[in-house]
């Protein structure tokens, strides 16, 4: 079979090849951000658990919950997208090496997975935001009324 990518010319392979370094860069920055978020969760746990007096400390359950939220956030917002993006970039490496239609299809599929995940993450994030806003609109007046009495 004739080299399909060469047949398509630079119109397809060159722009895809130019996105590869940026994809790798963003993926690496995501891995770094994930590590920093995990490190931040450890600092928060340490800071919350060594408050000067027992009255100022949060219950252990709250500290564990905050830590878990940070770790889940690190995994879902940084680690998974970075892995998907790095895999897409690695598939683009194969376009220059193999130059086959299968390689192009694999690179496209990996990019599709990345963007699908980003879209789902965006929908979930917006839904959580709306739920938190509704919750705040309900909880804040209740707390304010409780303080008045």
- pLDDT value at position 44? 85
Looking at residue 56, its pLDDT comes to 62
Along the chain (149 residues), what's the average pLDDT of each consecutive run of 10 residues? 56 79 96 96 83 68 87 95 96 75 85 96 96 92 82
Is 38 within 8 Å of 71 (Cβ atoms)? yes
C-alpha span between 121 and 102 (Å, rounded): 28
What pLDDT does 1 receive?
43
Q: Are 103 and 17 in contact (CB under 8 A)?
A: no
Q: What is the pLDDT of residue 61?
A: 81
* Contacts by 55-62, CB closer than 8 A, 24 or more apart: none
Q: Where are the domains of the chain?
A: 4-148
């Amino acid at each position: 079979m004739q080299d399909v990518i060469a047949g398509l010319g630079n119109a397809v392979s060159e722009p895809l090849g130019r996105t590869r370094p940026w994809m790798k860069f963003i993926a690496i920055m995501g891995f770094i951000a994930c590590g920093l978020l995990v490190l931040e969760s450890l600092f928060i746990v340490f800071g919350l658990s060594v408050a000067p007096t027992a009255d100022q400390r949060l219950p252990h359950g709250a500290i564990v919950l905050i830590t878990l939220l940070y770790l889940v956030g690190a995994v879902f917002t940084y680690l998974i997208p970075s892995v998907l993006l790095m895999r897409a970039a690695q598939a683009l490496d194969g376009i220059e090496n193999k130059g086959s239609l299968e390689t192009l299809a694999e690179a496209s599929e990996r990019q599709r997975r990345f963007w699908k995940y980003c879209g789902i993450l965006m929908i979930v994030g917006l839904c959580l935001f709306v739920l938190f806003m509704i919750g705040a609109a309900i909880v804040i007046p209740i707390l304010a009324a409780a303080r008045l009495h």
